[in-house]
Structure 1
Amino acid sequence: MIRLIVLASLAATPALAAGGPFFSLWNTNFVVTLAFLLFVGIIIWAKAPAKVGAMLDGRAAQIKAELDEAKALREEARALLSSYEKKQKEVQEQSARIVASAREEAEAAAAQAKEDLKVSIARRLAAAEDQIAAAEASAIREVRERAIAVAVAAAGDVLSKQMTAEGASASIDTAIDQVAAKLH
């Protein structure tokens, strides 16, 4: 294969197209062709194509490793993103539960406050009614006492004007007998 390449490169040189003796050191085309062939021979002898191939293979392997690492990092990033999205959903669900719980507690507290207010109002109404009833009873008692006092005073005035000494002593004797009968 290498021999074919060398032969083809010799056939395609402009030195063949030049006039005069070709194999002369005075022919610049021949010298350039010899230098080129020598240069290609040294490169092949030094195994430069294998080294360049190995370098290219190494670079390809390095690029492949970098690509694999990038893929792994991308997968890790996707997993992290998925994890964070899952955590975000969990946090949103937890916050929704907390809000719902707080709302329920607030509603329960409001209902309890309404009940407490109703009980307090009922107690105050009962206390007010008791005070009104006590005031009413006190007023009635006071009116009765006043009426009794007025009646006793009027009766005393009437009796004092109509009563004689004998009638008064008979009345006292009757009252003493009544008290004695009630006490025994």
Structure 2
Amino acid sequence: MRTLSLAALAATLTASPALAASGPFFSLANTDFVVLLGFLLFIAVLIYFNVPSLLAGMLDKRAEGIRDELDEARKLREEAQSLLASYERKQREVQDQADRIISHARQEAELAAEQAKEDMKSSIQRRLQAAESQIASAEAAAVREVKDKAAAVAIAAARDVVADQMGPEDKGRMIDNAISEVGARLH
């Protein structure tokens, strides 16, 4: 089969006038024939040293490496997708929890605001009662002071009237009565 392919190659080379060299084709003086022999010798050496199978083995090994890398990349992609799904699920859970916390905080804030309103109302009520109590105490003190002043003025006026109307013996008798009355109350 090789002879046929060599013969076909030789026929192709001799058939084209542009590639033909001067002289007979099967002569060492023809450069095309020498190049053909070199090429065939190169192919024979490659086949002898089993280079095609080595190249095929290297290519198979490289293909296997690429296949392994693709499998590893596929596994990594699946892991990444599962991690992403996990993180998205956790994010939704955290968001739901945050929403619940915010809702609870709003409810507590509303309750605290209402409690503060009630506390303020009761504080205002207590302050009003304290103010009313202070006002009543001030009124009572003012009335008492006015009564005391009125009593003092009345006593002074009565003393002046009594002193003007009494003589010295009436004064002495009154002093004696007061002393006896004080002595009786003390014992």
TM-score, length of structure 2 as denominator length: 0.62
Q: Which moved more, 1:28-37 or 1:131-140?
A: 131-140
Q: Work out which of the residue numbers 83, 97, 100 in structure 2 matches 1:97.
A: 100
**What per-residue deviation string (whole Å, max 9, x for no partner) do you get for residues 140-159 of structure 1?**
667778889999999xx8xx
* Amino acid aligned to 2:8: A
**What residue in structure 2 maps to residue 84 of structure 1?**
87
**What residue in structure 1 maps to residue 78 of structure 2?**
75
Distance 2:34 2:153 in 1: 165
Distance 1:27 1:138 in 2: 148
**Which consecutive residues of structure 2, in runs of 5 or more, have no partner in the other structure?**
166-187
Superposed CA RMSD in Å reads 3.6
Distance 2:116 2:25 in 1: 119
* 1:105-124 equivalences in 2 (<5 Å): 105-124=108-127
Report the CA distance between 1:107 and its aligned residue.
1.6
**What residue in structure 1 maps to residue 8 of structure 2?**
11
Question: Contact conserved, 1:23 with 1:30, CA < 8 A, in 2?
Answer: yes
TM-score, length of structure 1 as denominator length: 0.63
Q: Work out which of the residue numbers 42, 53, 58 in structure 2 matches 1:55.
A: 58
- CA change 1:146–1:34 in 2 (3 A) is closer
Report the CA distance between 1:136 and its aligned residue.
4.5
* Residue correspondences, number: 158
Question: Contact conserved, 1:15 with 1:30, CA < 8 A, in 2?
Answer: no
Question: Sequence identity, in percent?
Answer: 58
**What residue in structure 2 maps to residue 46 of structure 1?**
49
Greater relative CO (CA pairs within 8 A, separation 6+): 1
